[in-house]
Structures are given as C-alpha cells and as structure tokens.
Amino acid sequence: MTRVGFVLANLFRRKTRGTLTLLSVVSAFLLFGLLQAVHVLFNAGVDFVGAARIVTQARVSFTSSLPLRLLPEIAAIPGVSQVMHETWFGGVWQTNTPLTTFATVPEQLHAVYPEWVMPEAQWRAFAATRTGIIVGRQVAAQFGWKVGQKIPLASNIYPRRDGSKAWAFDLVGIFDGKDDNWQRQTTQEFINYGYFDEENQFGRGNVNIYVEKLSPSADPAAVARTIDARFENSADETKTQTERAFNVGFVKQIGDIGLIVRWILSAVFFTLLLVVGNTMAQSVRERIPELAVLKTLGFTDASVLGFVIAEAAAFCLIGGLIGLGLATGVGALVERKLGGFLPIQVDVGVWATGIAAMLAMSLAVGILPALRAKRLNIVDALAGR
C-alpha cells in the first residue's frame, strides 16, 4: 500500500455517495470542456492563415445589405480570382419547417465553391431556370424531394411583389459534398438570385455578403484589408473576414455567447463546489476517530491535512479528466456532424484551463475539511468529543 492507495481507498468508502460525487464532477467538466471550447472559438481572433476564401459583409452587420454594384470593384482587387454573392432567403417548408436557403448566381456558386458536387446538366439547368432551386443531398433525403418537383416555400422576410408570401421553385438539382466534411453540410438550398431580386417586394439590387475565392498566391489578410480599405468612408463600408469567423459571427446572433458561457459555468461550478464540498465535509466528519488514529500513529498535522486535500484533488482530477476526455470526444463528434462549420475543439488550451480549474476546485472544496482534520485534538477525537 502507498499513501496514494490510501487516499484512493477512502474515496469510495461510501460507494453510492462517492460514485454520485464523481459523476457530478464528470458532468461538470464535460460541460466545462464543451462550453470553454465554444468560448474559445467565439473569442478567437481572425486567423487568415491558409484561407482559400474570404467573406465580405456590411461593416455594421451581415444583416445589413451591400449593393450589388460592389461586385466588379471587388473582382478587380488583386488576389481575388472569383467573386460570388449570397443573400439570405430562409424559407419555410409546409407549416413551420424553416430552411436555410440562399439566393445566389448559379455560375458564381459553381466557380467559387467547387466543393459542391452536382452533375453538369443540373448546374446548367439551375443557371437556365429562373425559378430553379438546388438542394443539398440531406435536405432532399429528409423531405423526399426529387428533381423535377415543384417546391412551394413561404418567406416571412421577403414578400413577393403581389404581396403574397408564397414562392414556388422548380427543383432542378441535388448537390452533394466532395468529401465527408462537405457532405455533412448538405443541409442548405440555393435559389436563383435573378428571380429572387426581380420578384421580391423591396431591396432590389442588394446582397448580404460577397464571397471571394482567392488566387493561390494571394495573401488573404492583405486582400481582406484592401477590400475594406477600398470601401472605407463610403456609404457601404465593409468588413472582410475568413469563412470561419463569418460562421462564428452568424451563430453569435443568438446573443453574447461569452456571457452565456460564463453564467452557465459559474452556476455549474458553484453547484459542484457545494456537492463535492459537502461530500468532503461529510467524509471528514464521519472519520474523526480514524483521522485521530492516523495522528496517533505518528502522521503529522500537515500529513493529515494533505490526505484530505489529496482526496478532494482525487475527486476533482479523476472526475475532471474523465469529463474533459468525454468533452474532447463529443466536441470532435459535433465538429464532424457539423462538417467543420463550427470547429468546437477541446484543445490543449481548454485542457490546461480545465486542469487549473480542477486544482483550484480541489483546494476550494478540500481546504475547510482539511483544516478541521489538521486541528483535531487526538485525545478529544478518540474520546468522541
């Protein structure tokens, strides 16, 4: 037996209580790992390294539109090889199934996103059919849609010129992704911008974003700076960033993610402090005579204090490491499921923060019971006083 063995033996002296406490630590750190990864993702600076495409939106918000006339100016900027634009259409299928539909120019989409794979005939049909719509493989499978079918969609944002919310599209193509990552993102649809712009009641000649495909030798950060500088102090100031940063901004619409994460984590850890703290306090209270025996045998006050802190640390570290391990797996799974749209990575930084949190928590939950154990008077404790 070793001192570590002695500490571990004491963890599960009451199996149900020990297991439940450990599970609460595991759950807390699973949540911590995932939320911290989200927090890091949402607070990371824009990293242009290796970007093949960049996204330009209105400086204020991507919900503000940019005029279509910027396209030739952006296309002329050195380093930009292709440009496309996208406008959020949304759309509702049947009564209340919201869709992720964008209006764009078929040829531009094909050129800028070679990752979307579809028979050339269908690309041509999309370009030639003003009311055409192409849908991702997953969407088609979900609703059982087939090429040639009429797809009626409602739009709460864009009424048609006649005031009707009902739009009708002809399904001319079903696209897939070129690899696993892209195949997992086939959850969206594209409609023809020409038809959309002509038919919608307001905001003609405007788009939400421009997507620039860069030439291989281009410096993404420099191109982004050039684009933004080009429209600086104009009525249409822009903000150009990587696709990933844009995606993050898209999700950020739901609120201040950082604040939400901080509040949830505070609540989780406060509860955890109470749970583990209570377990440790109970455990020490039940063992007063045993702790007194340890001191009788010659273990010093500091050793006894160390044993109790070590028990708290064992709870926090064992549970925390399992929790972070699970978070790493779940994060990877979510990232895979989203096809890289939101890279939730429980990386080294999250692990380091997590381990620091485990150590801080060990001290926080262990220190009071440990001090009580340290101050035990042997004679009183053995006499049950």
For another protein, give the closer residue by CB, 70 or 292.
Answer: 292
For another protein, give the closer residue by CB, 2 or 217.
Answer: 2
Check: CB of residue 241 under 8 Å from CB of residue 55. Answer: yes
Cα torsion through 160, 162, 167, 171, rounded to 10: -100
Q: Does the protein bind another protein through residue 382 (CB under 8 A)?
A: yes
**Site for another protein (CB under 8 A): which residue of 180, 274, 290, 352?**
290
Of residues 313, 233, 303, 250, the one with CA closest to residue 276: 313
Q: Which stretch binds another protein (CB under 8 A): 43-51, 102-110, 220-228, 290-298?
A: 290-298
We find the least distance from the C-beta atom of residue 376 to another protein, in angstroms, to be 12
**Site for another protein (CB under 8 A): which residue of 43, 201, 253, 296?**
296
Q: Does the protein bind another protein through residue 166 (CB under 8 A)?
A: no
Check: CB of residue 10 under 8 Å from CB of residue 284. Answer: no
Tokens linked to 9 = 């033996």
Site string (247-286) toward another protein, x via CB under 8 A: ----------------------------------------
Of residues 135, 262, 119, 121, the one with CA closest to residue 187: 135
Residue numbers 299-358 binding another protein by CB under 8 A: 299-302
Contact partners, residue 311, CB within 8 Å, separation at least 6: 7, 10, 11, 280, 283, 366
Q: Does the protein bind another protein through residue 297 (CB under 8 A)?
A: yes
CA distance 334 to 345: 9
Q: Does the protein bind another protein through residue 90 (CB under 8 A)?
A: no
Site string (207-236) toward another protein, x via CB under 8 A: ------------------------------
Q: Does the protein bind another protein through residue 195 (CB under 8 A)?
A: no
Tokens linked to 199 = 């038919």
Contact partners, residue 68, CB within 8 Å, separation at least 6: 85, 205, 206, 207
**Would you give the end-to-end CA distance of the chain in angstroms?**
31
Q: How many residues bind another protein (CB under 8 A)?
A: 24
Site string (9-38) toward another protein, x via CB under 8 A: xx-xx-------------------------
**Site for another protein (CB under 8 A): which residue of 71, 92, 117, 293?**
293
Tokens linked to 139 = 């969407």
Interface residues with another protein (CB under 8 A) are 1-3, 5-6, 9-10, 12-13, 289-290, 293-302, 378-379, 382
